[in-house]
Chain A
Amino acid sequence: MNMNIMDMMDRTQKGFERRLRTFQIVAMALLIVLVGRLWQLQVMRGDYFKSRSTANRIAVVPVSAPRGLMVDRNGEVLVTSRMAHTVSAMPQEFQDRQSEVELLSRLLGMTSEEIEAKIEGQTQGKYGVPYQPARLLEDAPAEIVMRISEHRVDLPGVIIEEEPYRSYPHGMLAGAIIGYVGQISQDELKQLGDRGYRGRDRIGKTGLEREFEEYLRGQDGITQIEVDSLSRPRGTVGFTEPVGGATLVLTIDARVQRAAEEALRSQLASLAAGKYKNARAGAAVAIDPRTGEILALASEPGYDPGWFVPKISEENWRRVSTGVSALFNRAVSGAYPPGSTFKPFTAMAALESGQVSLDERFLCTPSVSSRYFGKKCSAWSSGRTHGNQNLAQGMANSCNVVFYELGRRLTADQMAAMAKAFGLSYPTGLRYTPPESTGAVPDSATREFMPGERLSYAIGQQVTVTPLQMAAAYGGIAMRGSICTPHLVRQVVTPEGSVVAESEPELARSADLSKKTWDFLHASLTEVTRTGTAAWAFSGFPIPTAGKTGTAQSPPGDSHAWFAGWAPASDPEIVVAVLIEQGGGGGTAAAPVARAIMEAYFGSKLAGAEQSGGQAADEDSFPLD
């Protein structure tokens, strides 16, 4: 019994000790579980988690590169940058978001919803940069900057950034060439997202700003910042300096450009004040025909690219986009019937095909009208006739009867071929955005021409051309067949001064005509400004000029006024094409603008020439009779 109790006690004591040992085993088992997991995480997958922790803490913030400048051929700065203040928000740093946004809305004059929308748009989503401040008010006026600074204590997370802004020292000058810059759109991001654009970026929208975006943009730098779990920056880990955009050295001469714009503007004003109420738009192009360098390219009405900095106001947007649009570059994108400025091409086609001789005579009188399907010469309406004249006189007087007769003899294809030989209906090859219009030169492949239509073809009513094409084609006539590709950018130069791209004069096409034809054209077109339809506009202009006026009908509106020509007549340096929409007669409306452009081009040379009494270049004038 005693033994039994002892036995039992011994057994229970043994059981107790055995159970206590179990705990040691359980503890060891749990330790093994933890160590095993530790081994798995740290040793087996350590590299993976290292990269995860790096990705956690390193944020890459782009540093905007300053955009490249634009200067004219003489180094005159057309586009530069200025420092501006931007009120921005770093939402992670807000302490009391709601009350801060409310205070901001009072200081900035925006609604709280607008502010929240701006923050969301720039910091969230695919192209948002969460560590970069969100712009709330760009180019903030000084008094707002002051007010924000005064409330700095109440506005943690609101900062004032300094940013370079596009600046245009000459205002509207060359606006149509330069184009404008704006915040990148969602569509553009989709197209260009792979080139590193971000939701906050600005991008060239039109003109050279867009066409040469890749050069102007520069290369954004990168700041690698360490951020904490709330995306608050804690310090800079790495920095790559941004590379500033390259400078565009334009072929433009600011003086000539200014003259072109001012002459167009004042001409439009005086036309609209007088008989031509609808004369509200026009374009002018001046090219050095020897190289294709564009000296001036104007489109009216114009705009100041500065209106788009940092963002265009509603009022200015209405101003540029409604009615007669200022954003439409008429010199490049506007296609118009050339009217009588087409006549040289008709003459060339007739001469080269032997359909006319230089001493053949034509009678201009209303009685011949029946021969030409009842079509009239423009002189008749004022009770005059051109009488009996040769081809040169017909050109100088822009007599329609002479060219009806040529149109009767020629096929549409012959005239079209000559026009195309000078590049009409083709892009000139100008690098510009949006792409230039090509106009249209129809031939029998396009449609069949009735005999009457061939007559109007001969006087430029069946084709359309852009002012740029007209300037290039007349450059070809001036240079006796060599047509250079027009261009606006001479050089692209990096901020360090190395040239990354350069435009060499490039022969776009050449027209191979007989010397007799060239001589005839040069002489007869010089006569236009001496005694012909542009004589009034060029009276007293000391440099012999060759050119042609045009008055293109565009019913139901008034006629478009044209002038295209070059100077000096015998040694061409500048070719000018001027168009005034619904401006009436080419000689009275367009030619004076061309003269003003040439005056600006020749400048001081002109002053000297006037003193010496002028007109001396008469040697190679062609006998009119």
Chain B
Amino acid sequence: MLIERRLLKNLDFALLGAVVLAILFGCAMIYSATRWNVRLTSDNPFLYVKKQVVAAAMGAVASVVVLAIDYRYLARFANLVYIGGLALLASVFVLGTPSKGAMSWIRIGPIAIQPSEYAKIAVVIGLAAYLVQQDDLSTPRSLIVPAVLALLPMGLVIAENDLGSALVLAPVFFAMMYAAGADPKLLGLIIGVGLFVIAPFSYFFLLKEHQRMRILVFFNPGLDPRGFGWNVTQSVIAIGSGGFAGKGFGQSTQARLNFLPEHHTDFIFSVIAEELGFLGAIAALALLFFIVRRCYGVAQSARDRFGSLVAVGIATIMLVHIFVNVGMTMNVSPCTGIPLPFFSAGGSSLIATMLGVALLQSIHMRRKKIVF
């Protein structure tokens, strides 16, 4: 399964370089965030960095495989990919192990996999393959099938008690529908109903107590500063105290003394901002948004709509992850367990993100204008 040289030349090297840089940056910050925490690392300050590097290596191998396959095969087998994604999600109910209140992990020996990270990509592929076959998406009727395609996996993820991950799919769905040509007014109406009817209804009748608290605390972190508001309060202190130039690499007191929870995973951005200050945080954001913009760029350069829609879906997944995660650390968005792509420690997130980028590179390689 060789990749043609000619195609390799078409890789988006800027995107590749940015991704490598982001992973290295992430590893450095994971080291900085975990090396003090003996209980976490069992006295090996490189434990988490090692895990991350191994995951990155596995992601790289998987990426090469993805590059070798012409993405158009995926369109042909999209139904299979989509059903596979659903099956992966459903497998959690049989094989899953609970973690932090959510049943979203499968443990295979020493490796823990979070299926929802991979399933998101499968859903994007399934949705894109369906959408390219539709001539007219302007009627409300035409939205029913795509909505079901999105709601099925969302329902499964919600059933795993991972509301945050499930909600990521909503903006992805709307972005792909918009790109595919659905009536923006209709989409806007659905979003409006979602925000002002379904959301309040869910808040009062469906959400669990702790989920409600998270939303209350988002609007008022001082409500319960030692309980639900703790994470956000401490994260904002960490970021603010970094100031313009930061406390220096490895000098995060908020992380080292454990004021900041989950500092190597969900709150890694707070560590960056505390240690490297405004400058470092801007650098990380610039890198991430550069990647996102290149991914949307792939959508623009793709040779067919299927490639474009897949690119829009994957880029939107990334954008939502970045915005929700970074926003959460600064109390701009509610607290959810969404990781920061490339930076948060965690194999599934990293490998899935790399797979997504590899898929986009595969699309980009095979774009219309081939430069000889």
* Binary per-residue interface labels of chain B (231-246) against chain A in the complex, 1 for a CB within 8 Å, 0 otherwise: 0001011111111100
Do A41 and B240 contact each other (CB < 8 Å), given the known contacts A35-B282, A230-B258? Answer: yes
The segment out of B24-32, B65-73, B213-221, B315-323 that lies at the interface is B315-323
Contact present for A229 and B257 (CB under 8 Å): yes
In the assembled complex, how far is the CB of residue A568 from the closest CB belonging to chain B, in whole angstroms?
A: 74
Do A52 and B237 contact each other (CB < 8 Å), given the known contacts A23-B315, A27-B296? Answer: yes
Q: Which residues on A sit within 8 Å (CB–CB) of B257?
A: 56-57, 226-229, 234
In the bound assembly, the distance between CA atoms of A226 and B243 in angstroms comes to 21
Contact pick for B254, options A23, A53, A226, CB 8 Å: A53
The reply to whether the CB of A514 lies closer than 8 angstroms to some CB of chain B is no
Do A23 and B296 contact each other (CB < 8 Å), given the known contacts A39-B278, A56-B254? Answer: yes
Question: Which A34-53 residues have a C-beta within 8 angstroms of B?
Answer: 34-35, 37-39, 41-43, 45-50, 52-53
In the bound assembly, the distance between CA atoms of A39 and B240 in angstroms comes to 9
In the bound assembly, the distance between CA atoms of A226 and B175 in angstroms comes to 48
The reply to whether the CB of B326 lies closer than 8 angstroms to some CB of chain A is yes
* Binary per-residue interface labels of chain B (244-280) against chain A in the complex, 1 for a CB within 8 Å, 0 otherwise: 1000000001100111000000000000011001100
In the assembled complex, how far is the CB of residue B143 from the closest CB belonging to chain A, in whole angstroms?
A: 16
Most chain B CB atoms below 10 A, which of A39, A53, A234: A53
Question: Which B266-304 residues have a C-beta within 8 angstroms of A?
Answer: 273-274, 277-278, 281-282, 285, 289, 292-293, 296-297, 299-300
Question: Which B101-121 residues have a C-beta within 8 angstroms of A?
Answer: none
The reply to whether the CB of B188 lies closer than 8 angstroms to some CB of chain A is no
Contact present for B179 and A19 (CB under 8 Å): yes
B179 to A, closest residue via Cβ: A19
In the bound assembly, the distance between CA atoms of A19 and B131 in angstroms comes to 15
Q: Which residues on B sit within 8 Å (CB–CB) of A53?
A: 237-238, 240-241, 253-254, 259, 274
In the assembled complex, how far is the CB of residue A124 from the closest CB belonging to chain B, in whole angstroms?
A: 13
In the assembled complex, how far is the CB of residue B98 from the closest CB belonging to chain A, in whole angstroms?
A: 22
A230 to B, closest residue via Cβ: B258
Question: Which A101-138 residues have a C-beta within 8 angstroms of B?
Answer: none
In the bound assembly, the distance between CA atoms of A17 and B330 in angstroms comes to 34
Contact present for B296 and A24 (CB under 8 Å): yes
The reply to whether the CB of A380 lies closer than 8 angstroms to some CB of chain B is no
In the assembled complex, how far is the CB of residue B191 from the closest CB belonging to chain A, in whole angstroms?
A: 13
Q: Which residues on A sit within 8 Å (CB–CB) of B277?
A: 42
Contact present for A42 and B179 (CB under 8 Å): no
Contact pick for A38, options B254, B273, B293, CB 8 Å: B273
In the bound assembly, the distance between CA atoms of A228 and B254 in angstroms comes to 8
Contact present for B181 and A15 (CB under 8 Å): yes
Question: Which B174-213 residues have a C-beta within 8 angstroms of A?
Answer: 175, 178-179, 181
Q: Which residues on B sit within 8 Å (CB–CB) of A3?
A: none
Question: Which A3-22 residues have a C-beta within 8 angstroms of B?
Answer: 12, 15-17, 19-22
Q: Which residues on A sit within 8 Å (CB–CB) of B234?
A: 56, 229
Q: Which residues on B sit within 8 Å (CB–CB) of A56?
A: 234, 237, 253-254, 257, 259
Question: Which A508-559 residues have a C-beta within 8 angstroms of B?
Answer: none
B36 to A, closest residue via Cβ: A234
Contact pick for B240, options A12, A23, A52, A226, CB 8 Å: A52
Q: B interface, by DSSP: helix, strand, loop or mixed?
A: helix
The reply to whether the CB of B84 lies closer than 8 angstroms to some CB of chain A is no
A46 to B, closest residue via Cβ: B243
Contact present for A16 and B305 (CB under 8 Å): yes
In the bound assembly, the distance between CA atoms of A438 and B158 in angstroms comes to 83
Q: Which residues on A sit within 8 Å (CB–CB) of B330?
A: 34, 37-38, 41
The reply to whether the CB of B327 lies closer than 8 angstroms to some CB of chain A is yes
Q: Which residues on A sit within 8 Å (CB–CB) of B327?
A: 33-34, 37
Q: Which residues on A sit within 8 Å (CB–CB) of B274?
A: 53
The reply to whether the CB of A30 lies closer than 8 angstroms to some CB of chain B is yes
In the bound assembly, the distance between CA atoms of A300 and B81 in angstroms comes to 98
Most chain A CB atoms below 10 A, which of B254, B257, B293: B257
In the assembled complex, how far is the CB of residue A54 from the closest CB belonging to chain B, in whole angstroms?
A: 8
In the assembled complex, how far is the CB of residue B84 from the closest CB belonging to chain A, in whole angstroms?
A: 27
Contact present for A57 and B253 (CB under 8 Å): yes
In the bound assembly, the distance between CA atoms of A27 and B289 in angstroms comes to 7
Contact present for B244 and A46 (CB under 8 Å): yes
B327 to A, closest residue via Cβ: A34
The reply to whether the CB of B152 lies closer than 8 angstroms to some CB of chain A is no
In the bound assembly, the distance between CA atoms of A38 and B279 in angstroms comes to 10
The reply to whether the CB of B308 lies closer than 8 angstroms to some CB of chain A is yes
In the bound assembly, the distance between CA atoms of A46 and B243 in angstroms comes to 5
In the bound assembly, the distance between CA atoms of A37 and B331 in angstroms comes to 9
Contact present for A42 and B240 (CB under 8 Å): yes
Q: Which residues on B sit within 8 Å (CB–CB) of A46?
A: 240-244
In the bound assembly, the distance between CA atoms of A234 and B258 in angstroms comes to 11
The reply to whether the CB of A31 lies closer than 8 angstroms to some CB of chain B is yes
Contact present for A42 and B312 (CB under 8 Å): no
Contact present for B319 and A27 (CB under 8 Å): yes
Contact pick for A23, options B237, B242, B273, B299, CB 8 Å: B299
* Binary per-residue interface labels of chain A (184-228) against chain B in the complex, 1 for a CB within 8 Å, 0 otherwise: 000000000000000000000000000000000000000000111
Question: Which A418-435 residues have a C-beta within 8 angstroms of B?
Answer: none
In the bound assembly, the distance between CA atoms of A322 and B242 in angstroms comes to 64
Q: Which residues on A sit within 8 Å (CB–CB) of B323?
A: 30, 33-34
In the assembled complex, how far is the CB of residue B112 from the closest CB belonging to chain A, in whole angstroms?
A: 26
In the bound assembly, the distance between CA atoms of A204 and B316 in angstroms comes to 71
In the bound assembly, the distance between CA atoms of A227 and B253 in angstroms comes to 10
Q: Which residues on B sit within 8 Å (CB–CB) of A226?
A: 253, 257
In the bound assembly, the distance between CA atoms of A53 and B239 in angstroms comes to 10
Question: Which A490-516 residues have a C-beta within 8 angstroms of B?
Answer: none
Contact present for A38 and B319 (CB under 8 Å): no
Contact present for A23 and B236 (CB under 8 Å): no
Contact present for B316 and A41 (CB under 8 Å): no
Q: Which residues on A sit within 8 Å (CB–CB) of B223?
A: none
A55 to B, closest residue via Cβ: B237
In the bound assembly, the distance between CA atoms of A541 and B259 in angstroms comes to 79
Do A38 and B259 contact each other (CB < 8 Å), given the known contacts A27-B292, A43-B243? Answer: no
In the assembled complex, how far is the CB of residue B173 from the closest CB belonging to chain A, in whole angstroms?
A: 14
Most chain B CB atoms below 10 A, which of A12, A15, A20, A39: A20
Q: Which residues on A sit within 8 Å (CB–CB) of B273?
A: 38, 41-42
Contact pick for A35, options B285, B305, B308, CB 8 Å: B285
Contact present for A50 and B243 (CB under 8 Å): yes
Contact present for B238 and A38 (CB under 8 Å): no
Contact present for A24 and B239 (CB under 8 Å): no
Do A42 and B239 contact each other (CB < 8 Å), given the known contacts A19-B179, A23-B316? Answer: yes
In the assembled complex, how far is the CB of residue A155 from the closest CB belonging to chain B, in whole angstroms?
A: 19
A51 to B, closest residue via Cβ: B241
In the bound assembly, the distance between CA atoms of A15 and B138 in angstroms comes to 14
Do A57 and B259 contact each other (CB < 8 Å), given the known contacts A42-B243, A42-B273, A50-B240? Answer: yes
Q: Could you list 7 examples of A-B contacts with CB < 8 Å? A: A20-B300, A23-B179, A24-B296, A38-B282, A42-B242, A50-B241, A56-B234
Residues of B within 8 A of A (CB): 175, 178-179, 181, 234, 236-244, 253-254, 257-259, 273-274, 277-278, 281-282, 285, 289, 292-293, 296-297, 299-300, 305, 308, 312, 315-316, 319, 323, 326-327, 330, 332
- 5 additional A-B pairs beyond A47-B243, A53-B259, beta carbons within 8 Å, are A20-B300, A41-B239, A50-B243, A52-B241, A229-B257
Q: Which 10 A-B pairs have the closest CB atoms?
A: A49-B240, A46-B243, A53-B241, A228-B257, A49-B241, A42-B278, A41-B240, A229-B258, A229-B259, A50-B241
